[in-house]
Structure formats: structure tokens, C-alpha cells
Chains A and B, each alone.
Chain A
Amino acid sequence: SAVISQKPSRDICQRGTSLTIQCQVDSQVTMMFWYRQQPGQSLTLIATANQGSEATYESGFVIDKFPISRPNLTFSTLTVSNMSPEDSSIYLCSATPSGRSSGAQYFGPGTRLLVL
């Protein structure tokens, strides 16, 4: 398993600003992911954070809006850029310690974002 922490746990931001969310894993992992959970809905994958290369984004998500960094095997950041109220969500990072696509995913506690 893996223990995953996120910072900040919550934030209230003004429209047009940007917020960077940090995700730290207690062990080296090959695969890290970022999800969004909008109010009352389930999780949607934003992107796969690749160490040493550009993130792989899912349909509907773009790098300009959600730039992602993955400087090493234990850390990743997600930035929500030029925020609008529609970006109000819980943002979660996850990791697959086994490094296999068939391995279990473990999640951080999430970052609750409210955009005014």
C-alpha cells in the first residue's frame, strides 16, 4: 500500500487566480494520477502524471488549464489555472505502488476547492 498526503486540504480562491495542489507519496511509485470530483458526482480522471515527461491528459482536460509537474517518483503537483466557480470541486491524487495498470490505486485525502 501507500500513504498519500495532499496540501492544502482546502482553499477558497477568487475567480481568475491559480492554485497549486501538492501530492506526496511515502514511497516511490511509477504511476500517479489526478482526479476531480465535482459536487454530488463521482470521480473523473484528469491526467496521468508521468515522471520526467509531460502528463497525459484525458479528453476534456488541457495542460493550459491543469498544468501538472512530476519531478520525482514521490511527488506531483496539479495547478488549477485561471479559476472560475465551475472549478469548485474536490481534487484527489492517487498512486499505484505496484507500477502495474492492474494494481490497486490508493488515494490522498483530497483538496476541497471553492472558487468565488
Chain B
Amino acid sequence: KQEVTQIPAALSVPEGENLVLNCSFTDSAIYNLQWFRQDPGKGLTSLLLIQSSQREQTSGRLNASLDKSSGRSTLYIAASQPGDSATYLCAVFNQFYFGTGTSLTVIP
């Protein structure tokens, strides 16, 4: 059974700092990996999708990488802002498994 783990569970950083969120998975037979953000009481917003054949994807200040062989993905956020405060979830899609998320707080 696929297991998806996100470390750290919570992270607090000062505004402007660059940061990395980690996601690991146990079964490398995935279709893709997707990063989401979830604001309190809200649904999920898709951030980046990486297909299984890709190594990374970029959108604005966000960069996500994928290393299937080691079962790892990272989400890099550059020049963090208070508006980035949210819970970040990674999900692997062959069997629809979600990580437990990293709660990010960016302090002004």
C-alpha cells in the first residue's frame, strides 16, 4: 500500500525567506504527483502537477521536483510572503493517496 509522508508537519518562517517542503512516497509506480494548498475551511487549490516522466515544474515563485527512484518530491517556495500561509498537501495519483500536509506560517 502506498504511503505518502510530508515533513515537516509545521513550519514557521519570516517573510522573504526561501523554503522547501518535502514529500516522500513508498511506491514509485505513480501516474503523477500534484501539490495543493489548502486554506483554513477551504477546498484545495492545485499548485503544480508533475507527470511521472518529468523531473520538475515551475510556476511563478514555486518549483516542484520529482525523483521517482527515491520516492521524493520537493516544493520550493521563493521569497515567501504572508499570503503563502496555508497547508500544503502533496498527492500521488495511481491510487489517489494524499500526504498529511505541511502547515506553513509566513511571519510578516
Q: State the A residues within 8 Å of B (CB).
A: 1, 4, 6, 33, 41-45, 92, 94, 101-110, 112
Q: Given A101-B31, A104-B49, does the pair A42, B98 have CB atoms closer than 8 Å?
A: yes
- 9 nearest A-B pairs in the assembled complex, by CB-CB distance: A107-B44, A109-B43, A102-B31, A45-B96, A104-B49, A42-B98, A43-B98, A110-B43, A107-B43
- Of B10-18, B34-42, B60-68, B71-79, the one touching chain A: B34-42
| Listed A/B pairs (16) with beta-carbon separation below 8 Å | A4-B43, A6-B43, A41-B100, A42-B89, A43-B91, A43-B98, A45-B96, A92-B43, A92-B44, A104-B34, A105-B93, A106-B46, A107-B36, A109-B42, A110-B42, A112-B41
- Give CA–CA (A63, B3) in the complex, Å: 26
Residues of B within 8 A of A94 (CB): 44
Residues of A within 8 A of B98 (CB): 42-44
Residues of B within 8 A of A105 (CB): 34, 46, 91, 93
- Which residue of chain A has its CB nearest to the CB of B49? A104
Q: State the B residues within 8 Å of A (CB).
A: 31-32, 34, 36, 41-46, 49, 51-52, 89, 91, 93-94, 96, 98-101
- Which residue of chain B has its CB nearest to the CB of A6? B43
Q: Which of A4, A33, A102 has the most CB of B within 10 A?
A: A102
Binding site of B, secondary structure by majority: helix, strand, loop or mixed? strand
Q: Contact at A102–B43, with CB atoms within 8 Å?
A: no
- Which residue of chain A has its CB nearest to the CB of B1? A59
* A17 CB to nearest B CB, Å: 23
